[in-house]
Amino acid sequence: MTSTVIGRQPVLEAIKSDRAVEKILLQYGTHGEIIDRIRRMAKQRSIPVVEVDRERFKEISADPSAQGVAAVFGTTNYEDVETILKVASERNEPPFVLILDEIEDPHNMGALIRTAECAGVHGVVIPRHHSATVNETVIKASAGATLHLPIAKVANIAMTIDELKESGLWIVGTASDGDKTLYEVDFKGPIAVVIGNEGKGIRRLVREKCDFLAKIPLYGKLDSLNASVAGALVMFEAARVRHAKG
């Protein structure tokens, strides 16, 4: 079974990743600097580049954001939580994990994973049910970050949090009624940040498992932020603290 990644930058990231790309598909007449890079890198890695006509390419993806290029590779291989912790250990860094508790919009999930990769997160945990999966839309929205970051799909988020606590991680949930602002949380040690569902937030049991609930100060009339924006603010505050000198 195979899956497809579309778009110039996501395809470029797919080639850079360790995943086995089976082939690159280009629509006839597709040119540009990134396309040239894709051709060169594909050649270096012995990945076939196949040019197809417009109608054939539309069968693969009619989405204009495909930009005339697609990568075909094996389906997403989800990792386990131990792999995420191993990544942190190999980098000689305290673990930094992102937990997405029932994020249902694939664009939000993709944006959160992209931010996580940029912020130095070691891996992402998602639930098996009531959640977006890592599909073509998520990969596209993540700009290919899903191909570089281990993602664990688990049966029970609450139980996984218990396992992370046993490994020494502190769990920081995000909530508008949090007991601390994100600027009062100590992000330097081993942590997992939990981002809740777009409408309902973090589920009750998961919320109860959190060591802290952090809120983002808001100064306008609205009382909440988009899940991916809230997640970005928290992750980069954590990154700032973790990489501060002295």
User: If you write DSSP's letter for every residue of 187-211 in order, what string do you get?
Assistant: -SSSEEEEE-BTTTBS-HHHHHH-S
pLDDT (average), residues 57-85:
82
Domains within the chain, CATH numbers bracketed: 2-74 (3.30.1330.30), 81-243 (3.40.1280.10)
pLDDT (average), residues 214-237:
93
Q: How confident is the model at residue 74 (pLDDT cuts 50, 70, 90)?
A: low
CA distance 116 to 71: 23
pLDDT (average), residues 40-56:
87
CA distance 82 to 131: 21
- By DSSP bridging, strand 21-27 and strand 69-74 are antiparallel
pLDDT for res 48: 85
Whether residue 228 contacts residue 178, with contact meaning beta carbons closer than 8 Å, is answered with: no
Whether residue 191 contacts residue 97, with contact meaning beta carbons closer than 8 Å, is answered with: yes
Helix residue ranges per DSSP H, the chain: 8-16, 33-44, 54-60, 81-90, 106-118, 136-141, 157-166, 204-209, 227-243
- The tens digit of pLDDT for each residue in 118-158 reads 999 999 999 988 888 887 778 878 887 888 899 999 999 99
Does the pLDDT of residue 71 top 90, yes or no?
no
